[in-house]
Amino acid sequence: MAPTPTAQKTAAIVGGGPAGLMAAEVLARAGLAVTVYDRMPSVGRKFLLAGRGGLNLTHSEDLPAFLARYGNTDPRLLRAIEAFPPEALRTWCEGLDVPTFIGSSGRVFPKTMKASPLLRAWLRRLIDLEVRFATRHLWAGWDAQGRLYFTHGTETVTVAADVTVLALGGASWPRLGSDGSWVDVLRERTIAIAPLQPSNCGFVVPWSEPFRRFEGEPLKRITMAFGDKLVRGEAVVTRDGIEGGAVYALSRPLRDAIAAQGEATITIDLRPDINADALAAKLAKPRGKQSLSNVLRKALKLSPVASGLLHEAAMGKSLSAYCATDLAALIKAVPVRLTAVKPIATAISSAGGVRFDALDDHFMVRTMPGVFIAGEMLDWEAPTGGYLLQACFATASAAAQGALAWLHRA
């Protein structure tokens, strides 16, 4: 049989997260000699931590609704997900003997729930495909001959590869390897990059000192609103702000509003399952010897932190001074003023990255033939719920397929 055009070709994958490992698998299956370079002592560290409380791989909703979660993004991202959709990711997991299931929220998890069994099986497969791993290699760009160069301890390592896939992640969780240091390297090559920003992040709230005693307390079964957007879920009070699923779902418009206006105000419905009239009726009943605090706790089922939030919103005014109608209205729409976005290092993910107009239709850098970009380095943003990992897997598959196509053309 005649050799394929990719015979004996080499691929360098820079970044050992999900995107880098998926690109490595696709290229190794095609017969390339693949090496994965990562700055950390082992690969997949952020992947492991993300799965500590249950690895949310993807989501089971219909594909049109799934794609809509990425907002007004580049069609190339959507095409990549269409080519490697959630069902394909689940099939891939099954091939690793890691079955998945759909949770009550529609999210997809491995039956083991944890990331470690999946990562172990995946690394065994990659080793069987003869993928090499070079850890503790910090990528520093390209030398004058166009070779990749890394620092490895006190040594400098140069690498000439036929194709390169960059999958270095964004700038969240820098202690696990993705610190966004690649931005300056690519800008030196005049590659257009949208500024990296926190995404799925917490926000700063100027709580009063008494309220800070609720640090770490959850606000459960709430509805949070900002503008015309409404999210049901949970949040957590931090010493200097607020975070959690409901907050993350609104993080993009909140971040943009704070950038434009310096602050943003959300409203929290503490009892979304009861309308204001019903709450007012409960509050208007004679209390007898019961304090208002007891009424809020027993009759309205408000937790201590929820009651504390009401006092915080009252700004020193006694809640007893409110009539039943006004207090019910406050419970249904507690205002919380956000004054800043928490640092990107504390965010779940990051927005911004390499602009799609710097790439061709196959995720190759237009000005650097043979160099491809995948994963969170790209300029896209998505909510939690499986959408982040799905896009990382899908763009990595697309970039690797693009690399193979480029090798064939070349």
- Spatial distance between the Cα atoms of 152 and 134, rounded to a whole number of angstroms: 9
pLDDT (tens digit per residue) in 279-322: 999 999 998 888 999 999 999 999 999 999 999 999 989 999 99
Residue 186 near residue 196, CB atoms below 8 Å: no
Averaged pLDDT for residues 127-156 = 96
- Spatial distance between the Cα atoms of 403 and 373, rounded to a whole number of angstroms: 10
Phi-psi domain of 190 (left: phi exceeds 0; alpha: psi -120 through 50; beta: other):
left
Residue 164 near residue 186, CB atoms below 8 Å: no
Q: In what order do the strands lie in the sheet with 58-59?
A: 58-59, 107-110, 100-102
Q: In what order do the strands lie in the sheet with 132-134?
A: 132-134, 33-37, 10-14, 163-166, 371-373
For 10-198+350-409, which CATH superfamily applies? FAD/NAD(P)-binding domain (3.50.50.60)
Residue 302 CB neighbours (<10 A) = 19
pLDDT (tens digit per residue) in 58-70: 999 999 999 999 9
Residue 225 CB neighbours (<10 A) = 15
pLDDT at 288: 84
pLDDT at 356: 98
Averaged pLDDT for residues 151-159 = 96
Sequence-ordered list of residues with C-beta below 8 angstroms from that of 338, at least 6 positions apart, any chain: 203, 204, 205, 241, 242, 254, 258, 263, 264, 265, 266
Sequence-ordered list of residues with C-beta below 8 angstroms from that of 252, at least 6 positions apart, any chain: 71, 199, 351, 381
Residue ranges of the alpha helices (H) in 223-314?
Answer: 245-249, 251-261, 276-284, 292-294, 304-314
Domain positions in the chain are 10-198+350-409, 203-341
pLDDT at 1: 38
Least confident of 1-15, 37-51, 366-380: 1-15
Residue 341 near residue 205, CB atoms below 8 Å: no
Sign of the dihedral defined by the CA atoms of residues 343, 40, 70, 354, in that order: positive
List the structure tokens of 301: 């089922």
Q: What's the CA dihedral at 34, 348, 227, 356 to 10 degrees? A: -20
Q: Is the pLDDT of residue 390 over 50?
A: yes
pLDDT (tens digit per residue) in 220-240: 999 999 999 999 999 999 999
Q: Is the pLDDT of residue 379 over 80?
A: yes
The percent of residues in the chain predicted with pLDDT above 90, rounded, is 93
> By three-state DSSP, how is residue 61 classified?
coil
List the structure tokens of 142: 């390209």
Closest CA to 363 of 75, 160, 36: 75
pLDDT at 49: 87
Sign of the dihedral defined by the CA atoms of residues 139, 402, 80, 117, in that order: negative
Q: In what order do the strands lie in the sheet with 138-142?
A: 138-142, 148-152, 155-159
Residue 87 CB neighbours (<10 A) = 12
pLDDT at 7: 56
- Spatial distance between the Cα atoms of 183 and 190, rounded to a whole number of angstroms: 11
Averaged pLDDT for residues 366-373 = 98
Q: Is the pLDDT of residue 6 over 80?
A: no
pLDDT (tens digit per residue) in 16-72: 999 999 999 999 999 999 999 999 999 999 999 887 778 999 999 999 999 999 999
> In this structure, what DSSP letter does residue 79 have?
H
Burial of residue 118, with CB atoms counted within 10 A of its CB: 0-12 exposed, 13-18 middle, 19 or more buried = buried
List the structure tokens of 65: 């609704």
Residue 409 CB neighbours (<10 A) = 7
Closest CA to 307 of 210, 199, 205: 210
